[in-house]
Amino acid sequence: MKKKEKLYLSSKKHVGAFNQPLIFLLFICLIFSVTGARLFWIQIINGSYYKKISEENRIKLIANPPIRGRLLDRNGIVLADNKLFYSLSIQPRLLTNSEWIDLRKSLSDLLNISINQLEIAFNRSNADTPYKKVLLSDLSEEQVIRFREQENNLYGAQIDIGLIRNYPYKSLASHALGYTQLITQNEFSKLAERGYKLSDQIGRKGIEAAFEFELRGKWGGEMLEIDSLGTVQRSLGLKLPKAGKDIKLTLDLELQRTAEQVLSDKVGGAIVAIDPRTGAIRAIASQPTFDLNFFSQPFTNKQYANLLLSSSRPLLSRALNAYDPGSTWKPVTAIAGMESGKFPVSQKLNTVPCITYGSHCFPEHNKRGFGLIGYEDALRVSSNTFFYQVGVGSGSQALYDAAIKLGFDNYTGIETLIDENKGIVGNKEWADKGRDWGNPGETPWIVEDMASASIGQSVVLVTPLQLARAYAVFANGGYLITPHLVDGNINWRSNKYFKKVDVQDTTLDTIRRGLRKVVTSGTGMGINIDTSILPPVAGKTGTAEDSSGGADHAWFAGFAPYDSGEIVVVAFAQNTPGGGSVHALPMAKTMFETWHQLNSDKELIGGRDEL
* Beta-carbon-side half-sphere exposure of residue 51 (alpha carbons within 13 Å): 6
How many helices (H) and strands (E) would you count in the chain?
Answer: 20, 23
- Rounded Cα distance, 576 and 545, in Å: 10
- The CATH number of the domain where 82 resides is what? 3.90.1310.10
Whether 308 maps to a domain, the answer reads: no
pLDDT digits (tens, 9 = 90+) for 518-567: 999 999 999 877 656 789 999 999 999 999 899 999 999 999 999 999 99
Are residues 273 and 178 part of one domain? no
- Of 190, 219, 248, which residue is a domain's last? 248
Whether 163 maps to a domain, the answer reads: yes
Torsion region of 4: left, alpha or beta (phi above 0 gives left; psi -120 to 50 gives alpha): alpha
Confidence at 48, pLDDT banded by 50, 70, 90 = low
Q: Degrees (nearest 5) of the Cα angle 423, 425, 431?
A: 115
Are residues 418 and 392 part of one domain? yes
- Rounded Cα distance, 10 and 15, in Å: 9
For the cut 90, the answer to whether the pLDDT of residue 259 exceeds it is yes
Q: Degrees (nearest 5) of the Cα angle 372, 352, 356?
A: 135
Are residues 189 and 65 part of one domain? yes
Are residues 519 and 398 part of one domain? yes
SS (H, E, C) 513-567: HHHHHHHHHCCCHHHHCCCCCCCCCEEEEEEECCCCCCCCEEEEEEEECCCCCCE
Contact between 332 and 394 under an 8 Å Cβ cutoff? The reply is no
- Rounded Cα distance, 604 and 607, in Å: 7
Are residues 199 and 345 part of one domain? no
pLDDT digits (tens, 9 = 90+) for 355-413: 999 989 999 999 999 999 999 999 999 999 999 999 999 999 999 999 999 999 999 99
Mean pLDDT in residue range 555-584: 96
Total number of domains in the chain: 2
- Of 248, 276, 302, which residue is a domain's last? 248
Contact between 518 and 431 under an 8 Å Cβ cutoff? The reply is no
Percentage, residues of the chain above pLDDT 70: 85
Are residues 582 and 508 part of one domain? yes
Whether 228 maps to a domain, the answer reads: yes
Are residues 259 and 235 part of one domain? no
Using DSSP, state whether 106 is helix, strand or coil: helix
Contact between 564 and 478 under an 8 Å Cβ cutoff? The reply is no
Are residues 337 and 244 part of one domain? no
Are residues 204 and 217 part of one domain? yes
Are residues 349 and 391 part of one domain? yes
Are residues 114 and 217 part of one domain? yes
Supply the pLDDT for residue 32.
Answer: 66
Q: What share of the chain is helix, strand, coil (3-state, %, to 5)?
A: 45, 20, 35
Contact between 497 and 509 under an 8 Å Cβ cutoff? The reply is no
Per-residue burial over 85-111, b if 16 or more Cβ lie within 10 Å, else e, is bbbbbbebeebeeeebeebbeebbebb
* C-alpha torsion angle, residues 333, 334, 335, 338 (rounded to 10): 130
Identify the domain containing residue 229 by its residue range: 61-248
**Residue 554 bridge partners (DSSP):** 543, 573
Supply the pLDDT for residue 219.
Answer: 78
Q: What is the pTM of this model?
A: 0.83
Whether 418 maps to a domain, the answer reads: yes
- Rounded Cα distance, 596 and 535, in Å: 8
DSSP 276: T
Are residues 552 and 472 part of one domain? yes
Whether 40 maps to a domain, the answer reads: no
- The CATH number of the domain where 382 resides is what? 3.40.710.10
Whether 357 maps to a domain, the answer reads: yes
